[in-house]
A and B are shown apart, each in its own frame.
Chain A
Amino acid sequence: MTKAMIEVTRLTKRFGDRIAVDHVSFLAKPGEVVGLLGPNGAGKTTTMRMLTGFLPPSEGGAKIAGHDIAADSLNARRNVGYLPERVPVYPDMTVREYVFFWARLRGQRDARARADAVIAQVNLSERRDTLIRNLSKGMRQRLGFAQALVHDPPVLILDEPTIGIDPRQVIEVRDTVRELGRTKTVLFSTHILSEAEHTCDRVIILHQGRIVAQGQPSDLKRKLRPDATLEEVFLSIVGAERGADK
């Protein structure tokens, strides 16, 4: 068995009384694309923010590439490429300056070459000297990918990377994710179920901070009935939860 690149153990986050992530545990191996699925407010972003070292967990923990996210935070962070939900940019920088900046900040020695390489990889070479403020949304998303990939991390954490872009680019992003998932460990969040079905080797369904189901998309479907879409699987699970709450 290959070593897990993401190892999450009873990870919990509370904001005051509200529990955003509730004792979540899972593993992800190299070459695996794991989909984090759930409706708005399920705790996807909060989970990712803890794994990337942005938010400290209230309880439990996780290891990235064998490094504890709390005790060995810098090494854990070195192994992660992160694309937040809303692509963070410096509008006054050019594409190249921006990627170069992150390459250097993440300690890349041949930063300029690396920056140019990932810019080519995400098809932005022609826009290399364009100010970011003038990029379209789809291009910004690709720029976000470039930033996350520039230090060639073994773990990629992508928070809803297909939100707000046109269908053609959604397909491109899915292809990219699958491609990257051949060698890297990818954790990918979405609330679009068919997307997870097409892109992920395994899905984890989060609801109100808790894992309510996980497995291969096909297995999850079989549990309900053979011709069910993941949509229906999801609704039945979430529906059952709601019933249990009452």
Chain B
Amino acid sequence: MTSWIVFRREIAQFLTTPFAYVIGAAVLLLTGILFNRDLNISFSTKPADPALVPGILSFAMVFFAPLLTMRMFAEEQREGTMELLLTAPVRELSIVLGKFLGAWAYFTLLLLLTGVYQVILLSITAPDLGHALSAYIGIWLYGGATLTVGMVFSALTENQIVAAFLGMVALMLLWLADQAGQLFSNIDVAIIFRTMSLQGHFSTSFASGLMRAEDVAFFAGIIAVMLFITAQILESQRWHG
């Protein structure tokens, strides 16, 4: 119930903040340009990639996720509404969950908008819809996980710029872990690296049309753990006032 109330406030916030629209526009512009390029190539050399947009986003979220979440707690701190939230008869985790669902819903909306590209593709060729769907489900979960990483840093610092920067660094390291994993010739080391990275659970499965329960569980687990950590950070901030 608390989460639902916070969720509604959060989604209203996303839909009325110009900055959220700027990020939305950036996402659509970036994916649109790359989709257009891929489409042009597809006429001559190779077939269009049904997992193209999710693939782009799997890198782009390194930057977009922290931008979407940076103001989440910083603004409440600045306006002092955090003090009211934390003295209301509600649990931190419910607040955190509501805020996450708001951000995730906004991300979902952006994903649905990129569905236009699939419709265009569909009208031109016959793309592998199963592959596309798998990639979209993957990026939806992956995106949720990156948002929770962003939230941890938003809760850690009152400074939005710092929150965004640290979130990007963390996500970039996780992304690099996956890239590093691809370089290792030793298969065991490679697997360890890619298992630790967020992206490895997307790029090696969902992105190539493979839906594995363990990857779904991995993202669900990351989301749960990060939300829990965020709630703990809020709780611990009471000690500093």
Enumerate chain A interface residues (CB-CB to B < 8 A). Answer: 15, 46, 49, 52-56, 74-75, 77-78, 80, 82, 84, 86-92, 101-102, 104-107, 147
Contacts and interface: CB of A to CB of B under 8 A. Distances in A.
Interface residues of B, number: 24
Contacts of B86: 53-54
B10 to A, nearest CB: 11
Contacts of B84: 82, 84, 88, 102, 147
Contact of A56 (B13, B85, B88, B239): B239
A88 B89 contact: no
A77 B239 contact: no
Nearest to A51: B87
A105 B83 contact: no
- From A55, A87, A92, A147, name the one whose CB has the most chain B CB atoms within 10 angstroms: A55
A88 B9 contact: no
Given A74-B89, A77-B88, A77-B89, A56 B80 contact: no
Contacts of B2: 105
Contacts of A92: 13, 16-17
Given A89-B79, A102-B88, A107-B89, 15 more contacts: A15-B241, A46-B241, A54-B87, A54-B241, A56-B238, A74-B90, A75-B89, A78-B89, A82-B87, A84-B80, A84-B83, A88-B80, A88-B81, A88-B82, A105-B2
Q: Interface of chain B, helix or strand or loop or mixed?
A: helix
Contacts of B85: 105
Contact of B5 (A46, A89, A104): A104
A147 B86 CA distance: 14
A40 to B, nearest CB: 16
A164 to B, nearest CB: 14
A87 B84 CA distance: 10
B87 A52 contact: yes
A26 to B, nearest CB: 20
A46 B239 CA distance: 12
Nearest to A15: B241
A89 B88 contact: no
Contacts of A107: 1, 89
